[in-house]
Amino acid sequence: MSFMQPQSQTSRQTKATSAPRHSNIRNMLNLVLFGAPGSGKGTQSARLIDEFGLHHISTGEVLRDHINRETELGKIAQKYISEGQLIPDDLMISILEDVLEKNAEGKEGVIFDGFPRTIPQAEALKELLRKRGTDLHAVVGLEVPEEELVERMLNRGKETGRADDNLDTIKKRLDVYHNQTSPLRDYYTKDGIYLMINGSGVVDDIFNDIADKIEKTTGNKRKKK
Ligand code: AMP
Protein backbone atom coordinates (compact mmCIF):
# COMPACT_ATOMS: atom_id res chain seq x y z
CA MET A 1 0.00 0.00 0.00
CA SER A 2 1.32 3.45 -0.83
CA PHE A 3 0.70 6.50 1.24
CA MET A 4 1.93 10.05 1.15
CA GLN A 5 1.29 13.33 2.87
CA PRO A 6 -1.03 15.94 1.37
CA GLN A 7 0.88 18.67 -0.44
CA SER A 8 -0.81 21.53 1.31
CA GLN A 9 -0.53 21.44 5.07
CA THR A 10 -1.39 23.97 7.73
CA SER A 11 -1.36 23.14 11.42
CA ARG A 12 -0.13 19.59 11.00
CA GLN A 13 2.91 20.52 8.95
CA THR A 14 5.20 20.26 11.92
CA LYS A 15 3.83 16.90 13.11
CA ALA A 16 4.29 14.83 9.98
CA THR A 17 7.92 15.47 9.25
CA SER A 18 9.13 11.88 9.64
CA ALA A 19 6.83 10.43 6.96
CA PRO A 20 8.45 9.62 3.63
CA ARG A 21 6.88 11.10 0.52
CA HIS A 22 5.75 8.97 -2.38
CA SER A 23 5.13 10.80 -5.60
CA ASN A 24 2.68 8.35 -7.16
CA ILE A 25 -0.41 9.40 -5.25
CA ARG A 26 -1.65 12.97 -5.22
CA ASN A 27 -2.77 14.59 -1.96
CA MET A 28 -3.30 11.52 0.22
CA LEU A 29 -6.03 12.14 2.77
CA ASN A 30 -6.73 9.99 5.83
CA LEU A 31 -9.80 10.95 7.84
CA VAL A 32 -11.60 9.70 10.91
CA LEU A 33 -15.34 10.19 10.99
CA PHE A 34 -16.08 10.61 14.66
CA GLY A 35 -19.32 10.90 16.62
CA ALA A 36 -21.81 9.19 18.89
CA PRO A 37 -23.83 6.26 17.55
CA GLY A 38 -26.58 7.72 15.35
CA SER A 39 -24.64 10.91 14.56
CA GLY A 40 -24.69 10.23 10.79
CA LYS A 41 -21.22 8.76 10.26
CA GLY A 42 -22.43 6.18 7.72
CA THR A 43 -24.52 8.71 5.78
CA GLN A 44 -21.75 11.27 5.52
CA SER A 45 -19.05 8.73 4.65
CA ALA A 46 -20.96 7.66 1.56
CA ARG A 47 -20.51 11.14 0.02
CA LEU A 48 -17.04 11.74 1.39
CA ILE A 49 -15.66 8.58 -0.21
CA ASP A 50 -17.21 9.55 -3.51
CA GLU A 51 -16.15 13.19 -3.60
CA PHE A 52 -12.67 12.81 -2.13
CA GLY A 53 -11.88 9.40 -3.74
CA LEU A 54 -11.37 7.68 -0.40
CA HIS A 55 -11.53 4.07 0.67
CA HIS A 56 -14.14 3.48 3.39
CA ILE A 57 -13.43 1.32 6.44
CA SER A 58 -16.38 0.94 8.80
CA THR A 59 -15.46 -1.34 11.69
CA GLY A 60 -19.17 -1.78 12.54
CA GLU A 61 -19.84 -3.02 8.98
CA VAL A 62 -16.82 -5.32 9.09
CA LEU A 63 -18.15 -6.88 12.31
CA ARG A 64 -21.74 -7.16 11.02
CA ASP A 65 -20.40 -8.92 7.93
CA HIS A 66 -18.63 -11.47 10.15
CA ILE A 67 -21.84 -11.97 12.12
CA ASN A 68 -23.84 -12.56 8.90
CA ARG A 69 -21.25 -15.06 7.66
CA GLU A 70 -21.28 -16.75 11.09
CA THR A 71 -17.49 -16.74 11.39
CA GLU A 72 -15.69 -17.37 14.71
CA LEU A 73 -15.00 -13.65 14.96
CA GLY A 74 -18.67 -12.99 14.19
CA LYS A 75 -19.72 -15.12 17.16
CA ILE A 76 -17.43 -13.18 19.49
CA ALA A 77 -18.48 -9.81 18.06
CA GLN A 78 -22.17 -10.63 18.35
CA LYS A 79 -21.93 -10.94 22.14
CA TYR A 80 -20.38 -7.51 22.57
CA ILE A 81 -22.54 -5.76 19.99
CA SER A 82 -25.82 -7.10 21.35
CA GLU A 83 -24.77 -5.88 24.82
CA GLY A 84 -23.92 -2.44 23.42
CA GLN A 85 -20.29 -2.95 24.49
CA LEU A 86 -17.08 -2.38 22.56
CA ILE A 87 -15.06 -5.23 21.10
CA PRO A 88 -11.82 -5.42 23.20
CA ASP A 89 -9.05 -3.16 21.92
CA ASP A 90 -6.49 -5.86 21.07
CA LEU A 91 -8.94 -7.78 18.94
CA MET A 92 -10.35 -4.65 17.27
CA ILE A 93 -6.90 -3.30 16.45
CA SER A 94 -5.81 -6.55 14.82
CA ILE A 95 -9.04 -6.63 12.78
CA LEU A 96 -8.39 -3.08 11.61
CA GLU A 97 -4.81 -3.84 10.69
CA ASP A 98 -5.98 -6.77 8.61
CA VAL A 99 -8.65 -4.76 6.78
CA LEU A 100 -6.22 -1.90 6.14
CA GLU A 101 -3.67 -4.30 4.67
CA LYS A 102 -6.18 -5.83 2.27
CA ASN A 103 -8.16 -2.83 1.12
CA ALA A 104 -6.52 0.54 0.87
CA GLU A 105 -4.45 0.00 -2.27
CA GLY A 106 -4.86 2.52 -5.06
CA LYS A 107 -7.15 4.97 -3.27
CA GLU A 108 -6.43 8.56 -2.40
CA GLY A 109 -6.74 7.84 1.30
CA VAL A 110 -8.92 6.15 3.87
CA ILE A 111 -11.93 7.24 5.83
CA PHE A 112 -12.13 5.44 9.16
CA ASP A 113 -15.75 5.23 10.27
CA GLY A 114 -16.31 3.99 13.83
CA PHE A 115 -12.60 3.60 14.59
CA PRO A 116 -10.97 4.63 16.89
CA ARG A 117 -13.41 4.40 19.78
CA THR A 118 -10.86 4.42 22.63
CA ILE A 119 -7.55 6.15 23.35
CA PRO A 120 -5.54 2.90 22.89
CA GLN A 121 -7.20 2.48 19.47
CA ALA A 122 -6.25 6.06 18.57
CA GLU A 123 -2.64 5.39 19.57
CA ALA A 124 -2.66 2.17 17.52
CA LEU A 125 -4.07 3.98 14.48
CA LYS A 126 -1.35 6.62 14.70
CA GLU A 127 1.26 3.86 14.78
CA LEU A 128 -0.31 1.86 11.93
CA LEU A 129 -0.34 4.95 9.72
CA ARG A 130 3.16 5.99 10.77
CA LYS A 131 4.49 2.54 9.83
CA ARG A 132 3.00 3.08 6.39
CA GLY A 133 4.71 6.46 6.08
CA THR A 134 1.59 8.53 6.53
CA ASP A 135 -0.54 10.24 9.15
CA LEU A 136 -4.07 11.09 10.14
CA HIS A 137 -5.00 14.41 8.55
CA ALA A 138 -8.38 15.32 10.04
CA VAL A 139 -10.99 14.05 12.47
CA VAL A 140 -14.51 15.04 11.44
CA GLY A 141 -16.55 15.27 14.66
CA LEU A 142 -20.31 15.07 14.11
CA GLU A 143 -21.99 16.68 17.13
CA VAL A 144 -25.69 15.92 17.65
CA PRO A 145 -27.90 16.39 20.75
CA GLU A 146 -28.64 13.18 22.63
CA GLU A 147 -32.45 13.18 22.14
CA GLU A 148 -31.94 13.41 18.39
CA LEU A 149 -29.45 10.51 18.46
CA VAL A 150 -31.95 8.27 20.24
CA GLU A 151 -34.76 9.22 17.85
CA ARG A 152 -32.58 8.59 14.78
CA MET A 153 -31.42 5.18 16.01
CA LEU A 154 -34.97 4.09 16.90
CA ASN A 155 -36.09 5.07 13.38
CA ARG A 156 -33.12 3.29 11.81
CA GLY A 157 -33.97 0.18 13.84
CA LYS A 158 -37.53 0.23 12.43
CA GLU A 159 -36.36 0.84 8.86
CA THR A 160 -33.38 -1.53 8.65
CA GLY A 161 -34.01 -4.06 11.41
CA ARG A 162 -30.51 -3.39 12.78
CA ALA A 163 -30.47 -5.49 15.95
CA ASP A 164 -28.61 -3.07 18.25
CA ASP A 165 -30.96 -0.16 17.41
CA ASN A 166 -33.37 -0.91 20.26
CA LEU A 167 -33.88 1.38 23.25
CA ASP A 168 -32.05 -0.80 25.80
CA THR A 169 -28.95 -1.27 23.67
CA ILE A 170 -29.02 2.35 22.45
CA LYS A 171 -28.79 3.56 26.07
CA LYS A 172 -25.83 1.26 26.75
CA ARG A 173 -24.08 2.36 23.55
CA LEU A 174 -24.50 6.01 24.51
CA ASP A 175 -23.04 5.32 27.98
CA VAL A 176 -20.09 3.55 26.40
CA TYR A 177 -19.67 6.49 24.02
CA HIS A 178 -19.58 9.01 26.90
CA ASN A 179 -17.20 6.95 29.03
CA GLN A 180 -14.79 5.50 26.51
CA THR A 181 -15.08 7.30 23.18
CA SER A 182 -15.85 10.98 23.86
CA PRO A 183 -12.38 11.62 25.46
CA LEU A 184 -11.04 11.30 21.92
CA ARG A 185 -12.59 14.70 21.16
CA ASP A 186 -10.06 16.35 23.50
CA TYR A 187 -7.31 14.03 22.35
CA TYR A 188 -7.69 15.12 18.72
CA THR A 189 -8.39 18.75 19.62
CA LYS A 190 -4.99 18.80 21.34
CA ASP A 191 -3.51 17.25 18.20
CA GLY A 192 -4.98 20.19 16.25
CA ILE A 193 -6.89 18.01 13.77
CA TYR A 194 -10.41 17.92 15.25
CA LEU A 195 -13.03 19.55 12.98
CA MET A 196 -16.20 20.34 14.90
CA ILE A 197 -19.33 19.82 12.80
CA ASN A 198 -22.92 20.55 13.77
CA GLY A 199 -24.45 17.21 12.82
CA SER A 200 -28.11 18.33 13.17
CA GLY A 201 -30.13 19.46 10.18
CA VAL A 202 -30.16 18.76 6.46
CA VAL A 203 -27.77 16.03 5.26
CA ASP A 204 -26.55 18.10 2.26
CA ASP A 205 -25.80 21.16 4.41
CA ILE A 206 -23.86 19.03 6.89
CA PHE A 207 -21.89 17.48 4.04
CA ASN A 208 -21.02 20.92 2.61
CA ASP A 209 -19.81 22.09 5.99
CA ILE A 210 -17.62 18.97 6.35
CA ALA A 211 -16.22 19.27 2.82
CA ASP A 212 -15.49 23.02 3.23
CA LYS A 213 -13.62 22.38 6.49
CA ILE A 214 -11.63 19.48 5.02
CA GLU A 215 -10.66 21.59 2.01
CA LYS A 216 -9.65 24.49 4.22
CA THR A 217 -7.54 22.50 6.68
CA THR A 218 -5.98 19.87 4.42
CA GLY A 219 -5.80 21.51 0.99
CA ASN A 220 -7.51 18.48 -0.61
CA LYS A 221 -10.35 19.37 -2.97
CA ARG A 222 -13.65 17.58 -3.51
CA LYS A 223 -14.40 16.50 -7.08
CA LYS A 224 -17.51 18.66 -7.61
CA LYS A 225 -19.10 21.58 -5.85
P1 AMP B 1 -21.15 1.03 14.47
O2 AMP B 1 -21.76 0.44 13.25
O3 AMP B 1 -19.91 1.82 14.19
O4 AMP B 1 -22.15 1.82 15.30
O5 AMP B 1 -20.68 -0.20 15.39
C6 AMP B 1 -21.60 -1.14 15.90
C7 AMP B 1 -20.99 -1.89 17.07
O8 AMP B 1 -19.80 -2.58 16.65
C9 AMP B 1 -20.54 -1.02 18.23
O10 AMP B 1 -21.60 -0.71 19.12
C11 AMP B 1 -19.47 -1.90 18.88
O12 AMP B 1 -20.06 -2.94 19.65
C13 AMP B 1 -18.80 -2.55 17.68
N14 AMP B 1 -17.67 -1.73 17.18
C15 AMP B 1 -17.58 -1.05 16.00
N16 AMP B 1 -16.42 -0.40 15.89
C17 AMP B 1 -15.74 -0.66 17.05
C18 AMP B 1 -14.48 -0.24 17.57
N19 AMP B 1 -13.69 0.59 16.88
N20 AMP B 1 -14.11 -0.71 18.79
C21 AMP B 1 -14.89 -1.55 19.50
N22 AMP B 1 -16.09 -1.95 19.08
C23 AMP B 1 -16.53 -1.52 17.87
Confidence of residue 48 (pLDDT cuts 50, 70, 90): very high
Asked which of 23-37, 103-117, 126-140 is least confident by mean pLDDT, the reply is 23-37
Give the pLDDT of residue 225. 57
User: 195 — phi, psi (to 5°)?
Assistant: -105, 110
* Single-letter residue type at 145: P
Among 87, 99, 174, residue to substitute to test ligand 1 (most atoms within 8 Å of Cβ): 87
Give the pLDDT of residue 107. 66
Q: Is 156 a catalytic residue?
A: yes
Beta bridge partners of 35: 142
Among 41, 66, 78, 81, residue to substitute to test ligand 1 (most atoms within 8 Å of Cβ): 81
User: What's the order of all strands across the beta sheet hosting 110-113?
Assistant: 55-58, 110-113, 31-35, 138-143, 194-198
Confidence of residue 139 (pLDDT cuts 50, 70, 90): very high
30: left (phi over 0), alpha (psi -120 to 50) or beta: beta
Confidence of residue 102 (pLDDT cuts 50, 70, 90): confident
Question: What's the alpha-carbon Rg for the chain, to the nearest Å?
Answer: 17
